[in-house]
Structure 1
């Protein structure tokens, strides 16, 4: 993926072709960067699995996921070289077969990630904050990946055609390829399921980053040294992330651009922000010491 990112970066610089409103090499470039982050995070999570049996199953699941990812990227890059789109392409029997093969690799990739998520849910990881950050982020990432299955549904306009050259779409309410956010390409005129897909999948990196931030702040905030406080903060962060993921998914399905929400979406976002703030205050309160600790402290004071 690192090599493909470099090749794609060269394509962005040297190849001026544009496809569906974006530079033709933008898709393999973004996908390869995403897979780099995804692979590094999964490799770290697999290293947390205890026991030889869990590690062996995790190795096989990781290997299947790697092969499926590689096939997916080879097909995307092949279509870029051919000068045609990879996703939703049914213009010719060959293009349709390529897209069907890509769909199969995505299903295999998702199932391999599901196996890893189940292993992580069952694993006994000593640090509870780390354990729940890994578990919850992997579940949110699975939900984010599943948004991709929604994109392959034909739009009403496509269903009205006898043999549509394109089946499925990223955008909701507007055609693909319209005005979009620079670099990312997310639609600025309608809903875009790629936002939820991206945000959900990268919970795998962003939720564990909360742990790194807490570790960095611990020397300056003694309260964070308590594992119960760290666990609460991880739970609040994960819950807030899941809520925002649900919100941007719903917003896209309603055909709303990310930066042009309606009053209901704004109200929901405000509710998520308020609950996150309240949860953070709750998480940071000083936990009551265990009953056994209180008893020991009283004995020491009496002595």
Structure 2
């Protein structure tokens, strides 16, 4: 399938640096777009369902299906007002980890950057930002589960929760036959050794090297998105990249439950050879 873009994706775990990484990558003149969650994949999935289910399936052949899917990608990004002139697009959606076969079908050479982080600190980060609103109004948590910290954590870890869904999705991708499409970027490695991380990422993707200004990071695209979730600051990015100061607010039983879950740090687990940018 032809495309006017070099198309890559971003996915992985929440609160793990994908917004920060996107904000940095868009400094590279080779990159046309990198941002927060896009509607591209949900649109593809909805259109695909029409083409493969029900009485209309006979109206589409394989060539038509590919052209229609390609059209969603090309038309969406053709209409974006990109400040840069590069031709590399990073489309961000957590669902890409569950659609690696689809991505391989439409863009065989595309890669998926998966940002990951110790689940203890992911849940801790969620809880801190939720508690920053004294009324606990974040729509990340169903209202009936906002009463206690344990209830909120259970909601986040649930099958459809903000963490639980992504955790299942990335494990599905990591152990699939398409795992070679993945580039795992560990949050701690990104924040502690950003220059080395970016150079490795550029090398894997074949992107022309750029000297990034890590003391002048700009990203103001997410305000409306965060307001819609009533979770202000969810995608906030600081001007400077740094390892965050950490204050654990989770009780020991939850920490114990989440500890030891960083499967990407165990070389024996990487059976399908995903690229992993991580300090071991």
Q: Tell me the TM-score normalised to structure 2 length.
A: 0.24
Instruction: Name the larger-Rg structure.
Output: 1
Q: Which has the higher helix share?
A: 1
Higher relative CO (Cα under 8 Å, sequence separation at least 6) belongs to 2
The structure with the greater share of residues assigned to strand is 2
